[in-house]
Amino acid sequence: MKVGLFIPCYIDAIYPEAGIATLELLERFGVEIVYPLNQTCCGQPMANEGDQQHSAAAEQLFVNNFREFDYIVGPAGSCVKHVKYHLDAIPQDPDVLHVRERTYELVEFLHDILKVEAFPWAYFRYKVGLHNSCSSIRGLGIARSSEIMGTPFNKSAKLLQMVEGLELVPMDRPDECCGFGGTFCVTDEAVSASMGIDKVHDYLRHDAEFVVSPDMSCLMHQQGIARKAGIHLKFLHIAQVLNGGPF
């Protein structure tokens, strides 16, 4: 199994430790993993604005970088959701379709493809608030969203519960959007910030010490909110917890 590692641009520049943890974690499971050096962005920021014209080149580059792999794995729900469901600014040739079908978010890859059952190296003795991003839940289905009736499931929670010492805290609005929303967070700053503040206070009400998410972009926004408000919460990508670092 040859796996291409998709590291979104903001993880590359701001949260490299999330990328490092992802790579180390997959290598621990014996996955042959390659990071294509020419990757930039999947095109999501432009496509989310509705700007197909300017997302096309980024999308084509993404496909060129990853078409040779059996699987493409990225530690970012919203970027993976874009690739899987919205990478449509370019003609849908067989390479594009292959890439779209074979791209997985890290949690679903660990849970559905590798069928991981333990992280014996991981130890995390803290109270954790889990933030499954909207893209991960309602886009990729890594958890059943609260709107849908039926037996609940939550793949991120299931993986985190395998980590020794880790305690997941409940939340009042577990899958309410935190207000990041890509460019929304700047074009609709007031509403976005209000949503973020409410989200951060939900963690606080339940004594969370860490916030853990498969989507670092939401956490970038939440972390910014918490810091500005002088709230001491720590934010980590789920790969860092499952891999036991780097922190």
Partner 1 sequence: MEDDKKVDVAAQAAAFLAQDEVHEPMHDKNLWAARMKRDAAAREVPEWETLRQLASQIKEHTLTHLLQYLTEFEKNATSRGAKVYWARDAAEHNQHVWDILREKNISSVIKSKSMLQEECGMTAFLENRGITVTESDLGERIQQLDDQPPSHIVMPAIHKTREDVAQLFARNIGTDPANTDPHYLTEAMRNDARKRFLEAGAGMTGANFAIAETGSFVVCTNEGNADIGASVPPVHIASIGIEKLLPKVKDLGIFIRLLSRSALGTLATQYTSHFSGPRKGGELHIILTDNGRSKRLGMPEFWTSLKCIRCGACMNTCPVYRRSGGLAYGATYSGPIGIILDPTFDESKYSELPYHSSLCGSCTEVCPVKINISDQILQWRKVMAAKKYLPAARRLAFGTAGKIFEHPQLFRSAETMASGALKFTPNFLLYNRVLNPWGRHRELPHFAGQTFREWYLQYKAKNNEHGT
* Contacting partner 1 within 202-221 (CB under 8 A): 220-221
Binding residues for partner 1, rule CB under 8 A, total 76
Q: Which of 157, 197, 211, 239 binds partner 1 (CB under 8 A)?
A: 197
Cα–Cα distance for residue pair 40/65, rounded to 1 Å: 10
Shortest distance, position 165 Cβ to partner 1, whole Å:
27
Cβ proximity to partner 1, 14 vs 97, nearer residue: 14
Q: How far is the CB of 58 from partner 1 (least distance, A)?
A: 4
Using CB under 8 A as the criterion, what x/- string covers residues 3-22 for binding partner 1?
Answer: ----x-xxxxxxxxx-xx--
Contact between 58 and partner 1 per CB under 8 A: yes
Nearest distance in Å: CB 168, partner 1: 21
* Residue 72, amino acid: I
Q: Which is nearer to partner 1, 38 or 117 (CB)?
A: 38
Q: Is position 102 an interface residue for partner 1 (rule: CB under 8 A)?
A: no
Reading the block at residue 76, the tokens are 């970012």
Smallest distance from the beta carbon of 159 to partner 1, in angstroms?
Answer: 22
For the chain, what percentages of helix, strand and coil (3-state, to nearest 5) are there? 45, 15, 40
Sign of CA dihedral 74, 77, 78, 80: positive
Site for partner 1 contains 129 (CB under 8 A) = no
Q: Peptide bond before 246: cis, by omega within 30 degrees of 0?
A: yes
157-196: which residues touch partner 1 (CB under 8 A)? Answer: 173, 175-177, 179-196
Q: Which residues of 82-120 are buried (b: 16+ CB within 10 A; e: fewer)?
A: bbbebbbbbeeeeebebbbebbbbbbbbbbeebebeebe
Q: Map residues 75-94 to x or -, x wherever contact with partner 1 holds by CB under 8 A.
A: -----------x--------
CA distance linking residue 19 with residue 165, whole number of Å: 24
Q: Give the nearest distance from C-beta 111 to partner 1 in angstroms.
A: 20
Instruction: Among 94, 115, 117, 149, indicate the residue that binds partner 1 (CB under 8 A).
Output: 149
Q: How far is the CB of 46 from partner 1 (least distance, A)?
A: 5
Rounded (5°) CA angle 157-161-163? 125
- CA distances, 142 to each of 109, 118, 130, 137, 198 (Å): 10, 18, 13, 5, 23
Beta carbon of residue 113, minimum distance to partner 1 (angstroms, whole number): 22
Task: Report which DSSP code applies to 188.
Answer: T
